[in-house]
Amino acid sequence: MPHSPVPAQELRDRMDRLRAAMSEACPDWSMMILDNKIDLYYLTGTIQEGALIVTPDEAALFVRRSYDCARADSLFPDIRPLGSFRMIAEAFPRIPETVHVAQRTMTLQKLAMLQKYLPFSKTAPADGVLGVLRSRKSAYELDCMRHAGAIHAQALEKITPALLREGISEARLCGEICTWMLDRGAMGISRFNQPAAEDVLGVCSFGENGLLETPNDSPTGTAGTSAAMKSIGSSTRLLRRDEPLLLDIPCGFRGYHTDKSISYFFGKLSRHPQGGLIRAAHEQCVFLEREAACLLTPGAVPSEIYQKLCAMSDPAFREGFMHGVKFFGHSIGLTMDETPVIARGFDQPLEAGQTFAIEPKIALNGIGLIGSENTYEVVSEGPARALSGTCGALFEIDG
């Protein structure tokens, strides 16, 4: 059964917005070459190996493999097979001296291959324009994220408590949750705005494993499946009674993600010698997430929101607050790590239609990581709208 394509009008609107934004940012631009699969999906509705050529008047997607797959997936009007980059030069004989590319994701190898056949000598970044375009979600994109969020909320708030049982491993629990989401239409992968950056399932951490350091710019720690995969969780770390666990698991639908974290205490908090501290940390995270939702309004400045939330945090938890990372939330959409970020240095006011994952987390030495996270839509009036459920879900699970 074929997948539903990105609507043709949606693709036309995105291309029109791209050209308008490029003309505003760089009035003399004449060609853009994009090869990153996220950019290709955003502008053409298909993920393929190839290149998208955009000029002020034309746009063509050249596909190495598979042309037939691209035609089946996409309603983009001009898709052509690509045997060699020489075919691009033949189709676009007037190659300018400077072309715009996504510098963050284009590799030196791909750039060299392009320059072998296309006589441009300079590149200019298109990353800023692409980031701003993707930050403002259309009605279609928001519908995809709402669908992902609905699966997400059900999985982590309603289904997960019944899956918790003594002796289950981190990896097994993460797999069972993600299998449940896959069965309901989730896409089974999360993507990042970096070369070769994809994560399969997310993270499940029991107790002190949530405090382990990882290479990821995230407060969530994990032992991972091995040194080669710092994700999902350990197959040997088993759930014990009377300990906390943290689930930081994304969900995607038709390319669009929501992000959500949830803490549970498996057992009775009253039996834990630091049960009061654990509960207080959880209540602090819930409080900060709710305050953040109230601050996410059109015109608000991300860096100022960050400062306000830092000032609201309880001094008792400052040492472990956000476990070493210096942001409070991140934009999200086709990738997990879009722009802007709720952090210092992001001073462009927010707009309705932007989406953010807000993730307060607190590291408790010798205990684990406690936190909450949900994805929010900035709306024209009032606090941001939660897309992935509540931050006040049941915390104590005496399975």
CA distances from 300 to 77, 105, 290, 313, 347 (A): 39, 30, 16, 19, 9
The sign of the CA dihedral 231, 237, 240, 242 is negative
Question: How many residues comprise the chain?
Answer: 399
> Quick one: pLDDT at residue 16?
98
pLDDT digits (tens, 9 = 90+) for 305-343: 999 999 999 999 988 888 878 899 999 999 999 999 999
Confidence of residue 197 (pLDDT cuts 50, 70, 90): low
Cβ-proximal residues to 196 (8 Å cutoff; 6+ apart), any chain: none
Domains and CATH numbers, the chain: 8-133 (3.40.350.10), 136-397 (3.90.230.10)
pTM of the entire structure? 0.93
pLDDT band with cut points at 50, 70 and 90 for residue 387: very high
Cα gap 193→32, rounded to integer Å: 18
How does the average pLDDT of the chain come out, rounded?
93
Whether pLDDT at 399 is above 80: no
The pLDDT value given to residue 192: 82
**What is the per-residue pLDDT for 189?**
86
**Tens of pLDDT along 257-315?**
999 999 999 999 999 999 999 999 999 999 999 999 999 999 999 999 999 999 999 99
Which structure tokens are listed for 288? 């900060």
pLDDT for the residue numbered 213: 83
DSSP for 348-382, please give it.
SPP-TT-EEEE--EEEETTTEEEE-BEEEE--SSS
Give me the pLDDT at residue 392, please.
80
State residue 77's pLDDT score. Answer: 97
Task: Assign 184 to helix, strand or coil.
Answer: coil
Confidence (pLDDT) at 97: 96
Percent of the chain with pLDDT over 70: 97
Contacts of 278 (CB under 8 A, 6+ apart): 244, 265, 269, 272, 364, 367, 370
pLDDT given at position 196: 54
Judge whether residue 164 has pLDDT over 80.
Answer: yes
Tell me, what's the pLDDT at 219? 85
Whether the pLDDT of residue 198 is over 70: the answer is: no
Of 164, 201, 149, nearest to 395 by C-alpha is: 164
- Please tell me the predicted confidence (pLDDT) of residue 345: 96
Q: What is the mean pLDDT of residues 87-114?
A: 94
Contact status, residue 40 vs residue 77, Cβ threshold 8 Å = no
pLDDT, position 394 = 67
pLDDT band at 191 (very low <50, low <70, confident <90, very high): confident
pLDDT of 299: 97
**The pLDDT value given to residue 195:** 61
| Side chain identity at residue 27, one-letter code | P
Higher per-residue confidence, 39 vs 2: 39
